[in-house]
Amino acid sequence: MTTSTSPFGQPVCRVDGPLKVTGQARYAGEFHLPDLLYGGVVNSTIARGRILSIDASAAEAVPGVQLVLTHENRPPVASYDEPYEDEDAAEGSPFRPLFDDRVLYSGQPIALVVADDLELARYAGSLIQVRYEAEAHQTDLMAALEQSHPAPAELPDPRGDAAAALGSAAFRVDVQYSTPVEHHNPMEPHASTVHYLGDGALEIYDKTQGVQNCMHYLEGVFGMQGRIRIISPFVGGAFGSGLRPQYQLPMAVMAALKLKRSVRVTLKRQQMFTFGYRPRTVQRLSLGAAADGTLQALTHQAIGQTSRFEDFTEHEVEWSGMLYQCPNVSLDYRLVPLDVYTPLDMRAPGAAIGVFALECAMDEMAYAVGMDPLAFRLKNYAERNQNEDKPFSSKALRECYEQGAERFGWYSRSQEPRSMRDGDKLIGWGMCTGVWEAMQMPASAKARLEPGGKLVVSSATADIGTGTYTVMTQIAAAAMGLPMEQVDFRLGDSSLSKAPLEGGSATVSSVGTAVQQACEALHQKLLDAAQQSPASPFAGVPLDELEFSDGMMRAKGRPDAAISLEQIIAASGALEAEVDAEPGKERDGYSTATHSAVFVEVRVDELLGTVKVSRAVSAVAAGRVVNPKTAGNQIVGGLVWGIGMALHEETQIDHQLGRYMNHNFAEYHVPVNADIGELDVLFVEEHDEVVNALGSKGVGEIGIVGVAAAVANAVYHATGKRVRDLPITMDKLL
């Protein structure tokens, strides 16, 4: 039902781009309301204990301060765990802001100062005096490994006898890797603007990846079913930080209900380090291979940190059981509870760190058996997902290897470490495999064709900068045969059709499928309307004999049966259709995944120990790509972050205080333009009739998976030194 001029699959510029570059796009902390008050959060300075007293008298005496909110004077909230749980909650007891006098971690919010302006609120907050009863705390994962317990994860059953196979293997590698805490640090800090409408009703502008998730959370916490609407049209980056409602949201609601006024709470950059993050992990991998390089055994044990009140669990070790052919596999995943906040999903949760360890170990084994790292991976290529014993719905990873290696020039690589040099720089080439599950979740969408021919399509999803507005417009325009200029896609409003959280690279597959099906349901209504006249040329024409293109509805092979959609609507009035899209049953018999191959060149100054990624190639197989331009942007962003993960990012903690020390952009190092060389992205052609009706797998996560390993492997190739503890800083190389 599309034509050769369909926008589907075209590198279309972002439809929301003009609003953003002209400053017309409004974010959660930018909506102007009459008589708006501003809240400043006060955070705890101890990591564990109790609040004995809070003296707010000096703050309350400041002119313009309207309220100091604490656990002692907050409005009523739910008393049990269940109302605080959200769609992305970990197992355990969710954190409850301002609930009681307990301090669970350093940086916990303990008070909110509400004043006439933000600077006043934050100044008054500095005057509050808090007396604590501090208790002994533990924030060091490495010092508490013996306190680990099994993670509540559904791991694949062991296959074969990994221990015996390791013992008899011709070659063995037994290595440990560690990754640090990382924080999301999107450009836009978290903020909530609560519009108090009277009669207890609230309209809230929030930075979130799930407006309906936040709405249901607040309804449960405050017992306000049907009286809350969440709006989030634009999000300035999130990377997972917006999957769960963050504490500024319920605190802003508390203040609005207490004062019966509109209130905005915006977090400072330092406060962006006082909730979820990528957890610190320690991973041990043991690999065994035969003399010809065939993998015989693989064990992967991961230990990650979590809070004392929730068991944060992600897919960290499963990738090791599915990515390569291996008959003997054992996987284990454990957690250590610490006096910290609960970790939170961060771009490619679990895979970014689990595949890092796997792909570094694979590189080490390749050298142990004397094979080229790419040849070693091809030798152990998996045609099926052995974790599930299922075939893949599609898998073009071989093509990723081939095309990526060709583009990079991999086959001219010298195998020996320290054998490539350019002047005073050691040159290293490394590579890795990437993988991410191609998920689809239930989603709904509504399509409405209005007089004048405008198509309005809507769903309560989010656009965190990934291009959701654009690709959904493309899908709808292609399905309805309209130019994109006639399509208006609306999102970020909890009153719209139900949508899942925007995460997991599942938005296009989930919401996009719903958008396409809503448009197809509208086809039937257009046909019904066109058949109303007894003399209609469409009388008796079935839906499957229609095509929609160029703003027209036509019967195939019937030149007389053609009418513009605008004419139909002019006669019938606006028509709309809403659908609930579910993953197809055909998916059940298959494993669905996105794959990639990443090739990296580093230049290492041998005297200074500095590392520069001079170029990288990422070859990605992600099914049908709706928009190569926005998808390519996602892969480039993933490459940059992977380089940062390998060489820069680390949230450092003073364990004596239990407090993060580099909680700013000056000392929390991320890559800047000068750190990034030439980045090349190519999408490998991959057809998939099973994954969903669009044939699309999603690209948000796959861009970062494995990149840190490719960099680490390149550093080894350049220097002959293995650094297994991220980030790879000069002190670890010298």
**CA distances for 18 relative to 482, 492, 605, 670, angstroms:** 21, 18, 43, 28
Rg (CA), the chain: 27
CA-CA distance, 465 to 124, in Å (whole number)? 35
CA-CA distance, 709 to 724, in Å (whole number)? 10
HSE (side-chain half, CA atoms, 13 Å) at 426:
22
What lies within 8 Å, CB to CB, of 237 at 6+ separation is 184, 186, 187, 188, 464, 465
CA-CA distance, 286 to 163, in Å (whole number)? 9
What lies within 8 Å, CB to CB, of 275 at 6+ separation is 241, 246, 247, 341, 344
Alpha helices in 183-326 (DSSP H): 211-222, 248-259, 318-322
Spatial contact of 91 and 152, defined as CB atoms under 8 Å apart: yes
Rounded to 10 degrees, the C-alpha dihedral 357/360/366/367 comes to: -130
Spatial contact of 438 and 209, defined as CB atoms under 8 Å apart: no
Give one DSSP letter per residue of 528-573, joined into a string.
Answer: HHHT-STT-TTTT--GGGEEEETTEEEETTEEEEEEEHHHHHHHH-
CA-CA distance, 168 to 163, in Å (whole number)? 9
Residue type at 511 in one-letter notation: V
What lies within 8 Å, CB to CB, of 136 at 6+ separation is 48
> Would residue 701 show up in a list of annotated catalytic residues for this protein?
yes
Q: How many CB atoms lie within 10 A of CB 446?
A: 20
CA-CA distance, 217 to 87, in Å (whole number)? 9
CA-CA distance, 161 to 428, in Å (whole number)? 36
CA-CA distance, 92 to 104, in Å (whole number)? 14
Give one DSSP letter per residue of 400-413, joined into a string.
Answer: HHHHHHHHHTGGG-
Count Cβ atoms within 10 A of the Cβ of residue 394 and give its class: 0-12 exposed, 13-18 middle, 19 or more buried.
buried
Which of the 8 DSSP states describes residue 324? B
Q: Give me the phi and psi of 673, to 5 degrees please.
A: -55, -40
H, E, C per residue of 443-490? EEEEEEECCCCCEEEECCCCCCCCCHHHHHHHHHHHHHCCCHHHEEEE
Alpha helices in 70-168 (DSSP H): 118-125, 162-168
Calculate helix-pair angle for 628-647, 707-719, nearest 10 degrees: 50
Active site residues: 701
